[in-house]
Amino acid sequence: MLAQEVIRAKRDGGALSDAQIQHFVRGLVDGSWSEGQVAALGMAVFLRGMDRAECVALTQAMMRSGRVMSWPDMPGPVLDKHSSGGVGDKVSLMLAPLVAACGGYVPMISGRGLGHTGGTRDKFDAIPGYSCTPSPELLNRVVREVGCAVIGQTGDLAPADGRFYATRDVTATVESVPLITASILSKKLAAGLQGLAMDVKCGNGAFADTPEMAQQLAASIVEVANGAGLPTRALITDMNQVLGREVGNALEMQEAIRYLKGEGARDARLHEVTLALGAEMLLLGGLAQSQAEALAKLQQALDSGAAAERFARMVAGLGGPVDLLERPNAYLAAAPVIVPAPALQSGRLTAMQTRDIGIAIVELGGGRRKASDSIDFRVGLSAMRALGDEVRAGEPLAFVHAADAAAAQRVVAQLQQVCHLSEAGSAWSAKSAILARVG
């Protein structure tokens, strides 16, 4: 079978057979498909789509392309959460230890940044010494002893997806429902889960920028996952603004640590999304019988410090500093240049072009232009204003953290363009960040 004939079949709108899909997945792993051919098929799927049977076949083939985990004799349910990607989305950083503190076991396989969105793997890579690629034995031990381990996609876990994911990131083929579905679920099925909560972002900072696409993606993931034997529910959540107040790898880790420790007021939208997804995980795992009970358990795990304690043990267990929570500034690198982005006029912040903010972080060095790029963990935005905030002229919309003054000023100008201020005192009512539930 020739790679170019498989590409041609999809280019012309045909449905790929199981044999053609398996040939492609083998080629991803053994290198018999060139980078150009992988990119070409990705673009053909992006333009022509895949039906549900093709998506299931691709998901299962990529899942079987490497090791499939199992968790025999685990004393509690094996659960996970995944996000379709947003700007400032650091929910996973808090959610894994939160659910662990409530009796779940969370072996979270995380990805790198994709397109304009940040990656959980990159945020943990900002911690010196933390191993996102532990041995299977170490991973098993940390999950069993601590209850959670957030790691990166290892070379032997859905390796076909690892290569395809990196190529999609740099060839403008990210926003494809079947490819997003197969990428997410191949890793989650390989992780041996018993329940999955999916966070489908919707809005101008998400891959699903319309409610219709978000509903399509959520339904695709729930149907394919449940069809493959993995109980799954999805929440559609708002991504028309940055989630939380920090954007950038080390900065988001700082915000997650403050959240877990209860330092300062927790961002309301970030808290709402974190607890809502945690509740779905507890319900899937039988750790709560109602949403009210699940929310109460999660809040207690936060208030008691149990979630923070699990986070600290996970970091230490995977090679990071034992005192990261006590001294985050000693370990999380800071940018040499930090400048305010002043508002050009007074008014209420009523809209932001969230995707452009994510692109600005990439341009600062906080994301990748091509798969081989290294990341500057220091850069990003802090103290980002939320929609509904009133700002006076000259007050900061955010603080820009950059490697040099020129880069900082470029992002200051970009922020001033993408943050839209209406008249001061204009009507505003906050809306829930949870838009819909699927499954």
Q: Is 201 a catalytic residue?
A: no
CATH of the domain at 356: 3.90.1170.30
CATH of the domain at 38: 1.20.970.10
Q: Are residues 188 and 230 in the same domain?
A: yes
Q: Is 83 a catalytic residue?
A: yes
Q: Is 420 a catalytic residue?
A: no
CATH of the domain at 136: 3.40.1030.10
Task: State which residues form the domain around 206.
Answer: 79-328
Q: Is 290 a catalytic residue?
A: no
Q: Is 90 a catalytic residue?
A: no
Q: Are residues 355 and 312 in the same domain?
A: no
Q: Is 271 a catalytic residue?
A: no
Q: Which of 84, 131, 154, 183 is catalytic?
A: 183
Q: Are residues 201 and 292 in the same domain?
A: yes
155 in a domain, yes or no?
yes
Number of domains in the chain: 3
pLDDT tens over the chain, length 439 residues = 999 999 999 999 999 999 999 999 999 999 999 999 999 999 999 999 999 889 999 999 999 999 999 999 999 999 999 998 899 999 999 999 999 999 999 999 887 766 677 789 999 999 999 999 999 999 999 999 999 999 987 778 889 998 998 899 789 898 888 998 999 899 899 999 999 999 999 999 998 889 999 999 999 999 989 888 899 999 999 999 999 999 999 999 999 999 999 998 899 999 999 999 999 999 999 999 999 999 999 999 999 999 999 999 999 999 999 999 999 999 999 999 999 999 999 999 999 999 999 999 999 988 877 666 789 999 999 999 999 999 999 999 999 999 999 999 999 999 999 999 998 777 888 899 999 999 8
Q: Are residues 153 and 270 in the same domain?
A: yes
Q: Which of 10, 82, 378, 401 is catalytic?
A: 82
129 in a domain, yes or no?
yes
Q: Are residues 360 and 324 in the same domain?
A: no
Residue 202 CA to residue 217 CA, distance in Å, equals 10
